[in-house]
Structures are given as structure tokens and as C-alpha cells.
A = this chain, B = another copy of it.
Amino acid sequence: MRGKMKFGLNIPTRLVFGAGELKNIHTLDLPGKCALVVVSAGNSMKQNGYLNTLLNGLKKAGIEAVVFDRVQPNPIRQHVMEGVQVCAEHKCDFVIGLGGGSSIDTAKAIAITAAMGGDFWDYVQGGTGGGKPVTAALPIVAIPSTAGTGTEIDLWGVITNEQTHEKMGFGTPLIYPRLAIVDPELMLTVPPKLTAYQGFDAFFHAAEGYISQAHSPISDLYALEAIRLLYKYLPVAVADGNNMWARIKVAWASTLAGMVESTSCCTGEHALEHAMSAFYPELPHGAGLIAISGAYFKTFKNDVMKRFMKMAEKMRQVKSARPSDFLDALEVMKRSCGVDDVRLSDWGITMTDFDRFVDNAVATGGAMLELDPRFLNRQELLSIYMDSYK
């Protein structure tokens, strides 16, 4: 494997972690005087009072705030551009993303486009993206209300071009948030199913990053701890959303898994899932990952045997003698989180979609496919979809 004892580490984000920390935001150094606050179009940030807590804190700190609340799950290019316009109208000098990955990733895309000018898609690498270099971005503050994406502490974002059906990752060190406030209190209201989907997203960031050819001693450390924590605490948080201790552990695991994304990289599983939710935007990202995970990981069972066994050991806390122990533990974890029944057909996906899914994954997620433990050919990629279908 590449990069084993030569590696880098550079996560400049200042992390503030702890239940109740959002209401202390006025005590922190903030990177500007006028914030564009990006939240989802749904009501949860407002009804649960999180948006108010944030706005009150900004007021206390003497910082102006403009709310942009158009973001959808699976955020799209159009809303990025609307946000850029609001940002320009109010001369905002930094961007705050409050909410799930969609709000924070939209904030990241706005931060780039507001600083660089033009259209966001000009700066996307790969697919139909313009591929222009990004040399500036407004400072970003990330306040996740879900435990899953890790985007609060990584250099990545994902935006869908709704016209071309491309769900594209974009990344630059310039979009590491300056400040990440991870407050597990905000996560108490996430319903069980979404808690599970999002927690599995974090789990796969860790597991993919651990088997990725980009892994390193530091990403391994983060990944194995995230895997251990999620196996133990995600079922608890799913079963009882008010269990603060479990929420804290799952939130920390998700941030750790974000640090895996910043020190290693996701692999083909994410590329294959992005293709599915690009065509079926209703499919939650985590559900898509769960659906293909069994077939995906099984493909590499004999390529990274020791790594599979190590992951199994972290999960079960007993010695592992076979790589398939990891596959078994993964199935147990799905059952204990009540998501072993995810069916692609429930979201309208049919087997005739698989060809265009593979085309899309190769076109938009080629870099992740190259980091798989072994490079898969088209037939092998198709097989993962086929074996996952029910």
C-alpha cells in the first residue's frame, strides 16, 4: 500500500466540542463582522430554537447576520448561486453553515464562489465542472446538527448539479472551516432512522478511509476509534435519541471520521453512492451507502485481510481470525440499528439504472475509485449494484 510511513497532517480547523457549546459562540473568535447564515429550507433549525441560539450569540458578539434558508437535502447548484447573491447584496464577510451536511456544504460552495466570482460549477474538478483553480474563499464556520458528514472538519463538500445529474465532491484546504462548533445537544432531535443513516455515513468515512490506499498512521488512528465508538454507541443513540452520552460519543466519532476524510480519503463506495443519489435525490446518502456496503466490502475481503480483521477487533473487542468477521460485524451493526432492511427498490431504483450509475460513478468519482484497495473493472462495479439489489 502507498503512503504507509510517509504522510502529512494539516487540519487547521479550530474544533470546539461539547454539549451546550453553541450558546457560548459569543465567547469565541469569529472570522468576520457580517455572517451569511446558511440553513436548510426545513423547519427543524427554527422550531428547535437552534437558529435563534445562534442569532442571539452573534448579536451578543456584535456581529451582523443574514439568514439564507433555501437549502435542500442533497444540496444543488442553484441554491449555491442564490446564496452567493444574498451574500453579495449584504456584503457578508464570512459564512456560517448551521444544520446537516447540506447546509454546511452549501456554505462551503458559497464561500468559494463569493470570493472567486462567476458560477460555482466553474470551480468543480471533473465531470462537466469548469476545473478552474480555487485561490480564495470566505472564512467558514460550521455548526453541524447531525452526526454523519464530518464536513465540519474536512476540506470537502458535495453539491449536485441538478441539470446534469452530477453529484460532485469538491475540495480545497481553503474550505476547512476556521471554526467548528460540534454541540451534541443539537442532535437530540434527530429521528431514529436518520440517526442511523447519518451514523453509518460516518462509519463508512472511517472504514473506507481505513482500507483506502491513501491511509496513513494518523488516519488509521482516527478511523479505528470512530469505528469502535460507532459500533458501540450508534445502536444506543438510535434506540434512545435522548441518551446524551450516546449522542456525545456518536458526534465525536463523526468528527473523528471527518478527520479521516482529511488525512486519508473515501473510496469507491462513496463514488457508487453519489451516482445513485444524483439520479434519485430522495435517497438519503446514508441509506444508499448501507444498501451497497455489504457487497462493496465483500469485494475486498481478500485484498486487505489484516485491515478487515483489525476493524472487526475494534468492533467486537475480541481477536479476529478471519476477514469475514468484519462483514459479519457490519451486518450485526445494521440489524442493531434497524437498517438491515434498506431496499434500493423502495426509492424507485431498478436494475436498468445500474449501467448509468456506473458511468456516472466513473465520470464523477474516478478519484475515489482509484483509492480502492484494488482497482475494480466495470463488471465488478456493476456486480456491487447487482448484489445489493432488493
Contact = CB atoms under 8 A, between A and B. Distances in A.
A178 to B, nearest CB: 10
A162 interface: no
A15 B10 contact: yes
Interface in A1-18: 5-18
A51 interface: no
B11 A11 contact: yes
A5 B17 CA distance: 7
Nearest to A253: B217
A21 interface: yes
Total copies of this chain within the assembly: 2
Contact of A14 (B8, B21, B217, B222): B8
Contact of A225 (B9, B12, B221): B221
Contacts of A16: 8
A30 interface: no
Interface residues of A, number: 22
Contact of A217 (B12, B221, B252): B252
Contact of A6 (B5, B14, B17): B17
A258 to B, nearest CB: 12
Nearest to A222: B221
Contact of A17 (B9, B14, B15, B17): B9
A367 interface: no
Among A6, A12, A19, the one with the most B-chain Cβ atoms within 10 Å of its Cβ is A6
A14 B10 contact: yes
B19 A8 contact: no
A248 interface: yes
A217 B17 CA distance: 10
A37 B310 CA distance: 43
Contacts of A6: 17-19, 21
Nearest to A180: B9
Contacts of A9: 14-15, 17
Nearest to A217: B252
Given A217-B252, A225-B221, A252-B217, A10 B13 contact: yes
Contacts of A252: 5, 217
A14 to B, nearest CB: 4
Among A21, A222, A225, the one with the most B-chain Cβ atoms within 10 Å of its Cβ is A225
A79 to B, nearest CB: 31
Given A221-B221, A221-B225, A225-B221, A248 B5 contact: yes
